Structure formats: structure tokens, C-alpha cells
Structure 1
Amino acid sequence: MFEKIRDIFFNRRMENTVEENVKEDIFLIPISGDIINLDDVPDEVFSKRMMGDGFAIKPENGQVFSPVDGTVVGVFPTKHAIAIRSNFDVEILIHFGMDTVNLNGEGFTVYVKEGSSIKAGDKLLKVDLNEVKDKVPSLITPIIFTNLNGKSFSYTIGKVIAKEKNIVIIK
């Protein structure tokens, strides 16, 4: 019995300690799907990293969550892209799909506005994939670090679930 209680206490204590140490730099996966390299994005603006480096996700649903604690610094009028400044001073652009700007917001529901304070895991956007998928060349969603402010990042390619931790690491 004592061992079980000790293990429970130890595990909680470890979780709290780790959470306190990395809380500020946490990065959650914003969309469920498959992470791919920007080189495989069918748009040169992203694949040639003209807006910044990052990765992309082939979404399996249209739910988009904040990857970080921070502030929404931009919501495009066409609702297809949201820009965030994290509390650890990294700027992130989530751009849902290719040529989705041409839909003028059709099929998109935004849950935040410019200036909103957000927490990692907050719902940002919902995209009706059935309404959008046949109207654009691709649903691949680039996640771009427009300004890393001297930090670096790494990520793991493969299947991911929204709000999953430790797939994208920013140092």
C-alpha cells in the first residue's frame, strides 16, 4: 500500500515539476493528422520557406487549437489563417489549406479575434472539410514560425493528435 501511495505522489510531483519547468515553452499539436515536411507542401511560398520555416499537417478534421499560450496578433478577414505571438516570443502562422483565401471565409468558423489572449489547447478555428475540400487544391496546413527570435525547433514526422505534446520542440 505504501509503495502505491509513494508512486502516486512521486508521479504527481514529477509531473508538476516538469510542467513548471517547461510550461512557458510548451507547444501542442494544433490539428490532428499527419505531420509532413514543408518541402512537400504544394505551394512554393511555403515549400521554399518564404514566410519562415516550420512544418505542415495533412488534417484529418477541421478542428484547430492553439499550440501555445500567447496572443492572437492576426486573424485574416478570409478566416483561413491565424497569427499568434507566443508568451515565449515566437511568432506562429497557422494557414489552413492552399488557396483557401479564395473561399472568402466560406466553410470557416473563427473562435478568436485579434488581441485575444489564448492558452495552449484553446479552440481557434473550425473548418468544414466537406464544404471546403473540393474547392481548393489541398487541405495541407502549414504551421510557420515567422519569427523564432533566436530559438530553434525540431519535430517528428508522422501521425499526430491535436493537443499532443513533445512532437514539436522549441529551444
Structure 2
Amino acid sequence: MFGLRKVNRNTHTFETTFQNWKENGEDVALLMPEFSAKWLPIAEESGSWSGWVLLGEIFPLISSELAGMALMPEMERLIGECLSLSSSPLNLKHPELKYNRLRVGKVFDGVLSPAQPLIRIWTGELNLWLDKVTVCQYGNAPALDKKSLYCSIHFVIGFSKTCYRSLVDIEVGDVLLISNNLAYA
């Protein structure tokens, strides 16, 4: 009998992306940020990823003159506007983090308390603390070894019976619905 489990797509892509980056030698960690700071929420316009950056790390990227003005409250608002209006304000080299435009929220001053650990990745310019990644690269995914299946499987799609050939054609991303005839007896 096969057991089925529900897989949350967002959690799966988040964890897979973290593992891929870690295996590729990126400066990445799964952490809970336990320090007080000024955080700027940023996200890809369509929502494919979102996260936080430390406001202090943003100032030098935009202008070295702004780094000295970082303590002025008006500068926080201007930084957010500058990031939102620029076509490519951050150099994010990972394909999972591509963006056309960034959405930037209001500065949060304090300790972040997310529901789950965040992916902290060094982008080459700053640390990006990701709480959501919905696009995942499956280039490193192991191939399905069809010969390692040790029991016979009967496939039914709708009302049509299928053959062993359908098992050969299974690829990453396919959905299999598996049932046990004994469950219907």
C-alpha cells in the first residue's frame, strides 16, 4: 500500500532552493534573525520571491553620500522610492531571484519574528533574508530509477488503463494519483 502525503508547493520550493544554493557553495544559511535592526521589506513585483534587507546595507549601494545620512527618517522613505522606481537597483545573480521591478514596503524597526526560518543569502552586495521563494531550479534533481521499483503498479488515468510506458515517461513536476484497490473493497 502506498501512503500519500500532502506537499506544500511553497515550502517545497523554498527548501529545494536553499539546498540547491548550499550544494552550489553559495554563502547561504537558514536562520531566524534574532537581532534588532531597521528592516526593509522587498519583493519581486509578481510575488515569485519576497524577503527583507537591512536598511544599513542598502544605503552604500545607492550612493556613498547617502551612507552618512542613514539616520535621517526622511531618507528611509526616499530609499524605498528609489528602489521601487529603479529598473535594476539590486544585482541578484541567482535565476530564482530575477525580477522586473521590486515592490518595497515601509521600514520595520525591531526584531523580525517570522513563522519559519529565513534563507539568508549573500548576493555579492548585501545579505538578502528570504521568507518566500516560489521559483525553483530542478537541474540537480535525481532522475527516477524506474528499475528500483520493487512492486507491480497498476496505473489508471480517468477510466483508461495505462501501461508500463507511462512509468517511463514520468518527469519531475508530474502528479501521480495512486490508489489501493483494497481501499475500495
TM-score clears 0.5: no
TM-score category by the smaller chain? Answer: under 0.3
Q: Which has the higher helix share?
A: 2
Provide the TM-score with structure 2 as the length reference. 0.25
Structure with greater proportional strand content: 1
Q: Could you say which structure has the larger radius of gyration?
A: 2
The TM-score, its normalising length taken from structure 1, stands at: 0.26
